[in-house]
Copies of this chain bind each other. A is one copy, B any other.
Amino acid sequence: MSSPIITLTTDFGYRDPFVGIMKGVILDINPFATIVDITHGLSPQNILEAAIAIDMSYKSFPPEAIHIVVVDPGVGSARRPILVTNDHCHFVGPDNGVFSLVYNSSESISVVHVTAEHYFLPQTSATFHGRDIFAPVAAWFSRGIDISKFGDPITDYVTIPVPALVLVKKNILEGEVIYIDRFGNAITNINTQNIDDLRSSSPKGKPRVLVKGKEVPLKNHYSEAKDEGLYSLINSFGYLELFVYKGSASSHFGIAVGEKVGVVVS
């Protein structure tokens, strides 16, 4: 039998020992767990960024994996620890909206408010629930303990507002940049389906991408762009992305999260 997978997605960064400490707690409870880092480089306390990162990632992992997400500015307050199960796998983290995009992308969702404190560490601090609650809950759950033992289902779990698309006209869609990656590529909230829907309004039209009032040519892959201009493509997650070949769209063209991006079919 292969070992259960527990992943970690946090804003803890790479300077401090906090992530290592969570792994120690997990291995102390379940020495057979396979622990995988998704990322610890999320912007501090940026719940939307965490929601995007885990939603990008979980489908690539085996079914039944347990994904811990800790971006938790409300640690120590009344916000609830939750254990989420969708049609593919499981999630453990704070009930602060960090799973908002997972809720959207899942066919089925059940959310349990974790109240069984005997699955926490014996002493629970007010500032490090990654170590004291989320890591041990995931580790105990990975040992096969039934989810009903952790607490009761809730339906009033928290979601955060996710930037929405605006259909300006029947052939004009406005979205925005929601994530800048390490290379400076700017990922928008406009996906292939959105563009296809728009095209159905003008079947003979071609989609054009507009940023800062200028057209941004649509390419198939990065190295099709032969100069240092701003280009766009459909990225590997199915979303429209702005890029500069071998450069940073973000720093070369001053594009940040929130930058409006239009798609016009005509």
Contact = CB atoms under 8 A, between A and B. Distances in A.
A40 interface: yes
A183 interface: yes
Interface stretch (A111-119, A165-173, A195-203, A218-226): A218-226
Given A20-B57, A27-B36, A127 B77 contact: no
A18 B246 CA distance: 18
Interface in A56-73: 56-58, 60-62, 65, 73
A15 B181 contact: yes
- Copies assembled: 3
Interface of A: 2-3, 5, 7, 9, 12-25, 27-28, 31-32, 34-42, 44-45, 53-54, 56-58, 60-62, 65, 73-77, 125-128, 131-132, 181-183, 220-224, 233-236, 241, 245-246
B57 A24 contact: yes
Contact of A21 (B19, B25, B56, B221): B56
A60 to B, nearest CB: 4
A18 to B, nearest CB: 8
Nearest to A37: B20
Contacts of A7: 20, 24
A32 B22 CA distance: 21
A72 to B, nearest CB: 9
B126 A236 contact: yes
The 10 closest A-B pairs by CB, nearest first: A76-B221, A20-B38, A2-B31, A128-B236, A125-B236, A24-B61, A13-B182, A24-B60, A126-B221, A15-B41
